Amino acid sequence: MAGRGRAPGWIVGLLLVVSAALAGCGGAGTDGAPAGVQRVLDRRAAAVRDGSEEAFVATSAPDREAAGARDGARTWFRNLRAVPLAGWSYRVTGFRRSGDRATADAELRYRIDGHDRAPVVTGRTLSLVRAGGRWYVSADRPAGGSARQLWELGAVTAVHGEHSLVLGVGQSRGTLRGYAGLADRAVPAVREAWGKDWPGRVVVLVPRSLQGMAQLLGAPASGYRGIAAVTTGEAGEGKRESTRPEAGGGSGKAPADRIIVNPDAYGVLGSLGRQVVLTHETTHVATRASTSAATPLWLSEGYADWVGYRGTGRSAEQAAPELTRAVTDGRVPAALPADGDFGFGGDAAKLARAYESGWLACRMIAERWGEVRLGEFYRAVGTHGKRAGAVEAGLRDVLDTSPEEFTRVWREYLRGRLG
């Protein structure tokens, strides 16, 4: 029998084996690997903030350890150089090591100066090598489920507007100035309709092509073919996606709003269509804080369209051709569109009718109850906290009506305007 207070020899041996195993499978071990990795990422972040290309490249693996790593880092840094940054940092969240090679998971947090009130947070996966007692980065790529960043698609050109920042890849400075002009006209239009309780600035990303747009969204390009723009951001208590065949909503990859343009689809629009798109997307930026999981897409998209078309002189028949055809054929919608009616990849005509229905519902509110009430209704629904009962409460408290009566009046409005 073992003496009192002493562990049997086989237990001590087992503990030593377990400790050795843990030291080699992701723990800090005796060389402080995660701390060393965090240090090299801190140096990398400081180099970005300081604008020091050489310091940034020095955090990358020497060619003898990973051929091309430093050339790739130099290109990556130069691609990023034009982006005005107010912050850049990494936080290691996971670590896996095999000898002098390792993989680290990290959160990258950055802010664009003058625009982002909160940092963009995106996942990164970094490959590392150890040489001379120090860790170096050999590759830095988006983590699974994370989108690529604009500078990973090529060298960024920045154009500063009065109310906007336009960042483009593969686009001429003149083209980007055109986007800035549209955005600068959109911001005052949105502030006139919605109010001034938002910063009144927008960031527009213009990649080279549809494929680049899809990479920025972390989604297949096929889902965005024909979509001129989307807005990404975080809405209320949860991330929302709202989309449009010509002027989309967002996929919610980051708390900072970004208007992401599909230059292939945007380029075929006329001057009015381009302005409507940018004004629609800017409305999503402005209303983000008042948009929550309680807000149905017919309201968020309909309101953005209402602001986009406000003051353009476009008639209901001109701006809602698919719904006009349906109403003329006697197919008046029985109810306002459900969120599922706004999805990509399905019937394009059905999708168009969903947007047109939401727009005409908001237009009807503005005409019947007034523009101020329309904004109050939007805010009331968004602050409800949950979807169930949100629209009903807004209709009752702001418009003094019921869902049944509102739907009846809306259907009559469609017949009167489109029939």
Rounded to two decimals, the pTM is 0.87
Integer Cα distance of 358 and 301 in angstroms: 7
Using CA atoms, how far residue 15 sits from 11, 30, 164, in Å, is 6, 17, 61
Phi, psi of 268 (to 5 degrees): -90, -5
CA 110/CA 189 separation, integer angstroms: 29
Cα radius of gyration (the chain): 26
Distance CA 209, CA 216 (A): 11
Q: What is the pLDDT at residue 234?
A: 63
List of residues 6+ apart from 252 with CB closer than 8 A? 232, 233, 234, 235, 239, 240, 241
> What is the structure's pLDDT at 225?
86
Q: How far apart are CA 177 and CA 184, in angstroms?
A: 10
DSSP type of residue 218: T
Which stretches of the chain score pLDDT less than 50? 1-30, 236-254
For residue 238, what is the DSSP state? B
The rounded Cα 73 to chain-centroid distance in angstroms is 25
The string of DSSP letters for 268-285 reads TS-HHHHHHHHHHHHHHH
Strands 202-206 and 258-261: parallel
DSSP 8-state assignment for residue 303: H
Which ranges of 51-204 does DSSP label H, i.e. alpha helix? 53-58, 69-80, 173-194
pLDDT tens for residues 31-77? 567 899 999 999 999 999 999 999 999 999 998 898 999 999 999 99
pLDDT value of residue 345: 65
Give the Cα separation of 206 and 227 in Å (integer): 13
Between CA 103 and CA 110, with CA 104 as vertex, the angle to 5 degrees is: 140
Residue 117: predicted pLDDT: 87
Helices (H), 329-402: 348-368, 371-382, 390-399
The SS3 assignment for 229 reads strand
Cβ-contact 231, 259 below 8 angstroms:
yes
How far apart are alpha carbons 132 and 46 in whole angstroms? 22
What's the confidence (pLDDT) of residue 25? 40
Residue from 216, 265, 267 nearest 244 by CA = 265
Bridge partners for 96 per DSSP? 103
Residues in the chain: 419
- Give all domains of the chain, ordered by start, each with its CATH number: 25-146 (3.10.450.50), 147-289 (3.30.2010.30), 292-419 (no CATH)
Per DSSP, which regions of 191-320 are E strands?
202-206, 229-232, 258-261
Structure token digits, residue 318: 């001109």
| Digit-coded pLDDT (tens) for 267-320 | 999 999 999 999 999 999 999 999 999 999 999 999 999 999 999 999 999 999
Sequence-distant (≥ 6) Cβ neighbours of residue 394 within 8 angstroms: 377, 380, 381, 384
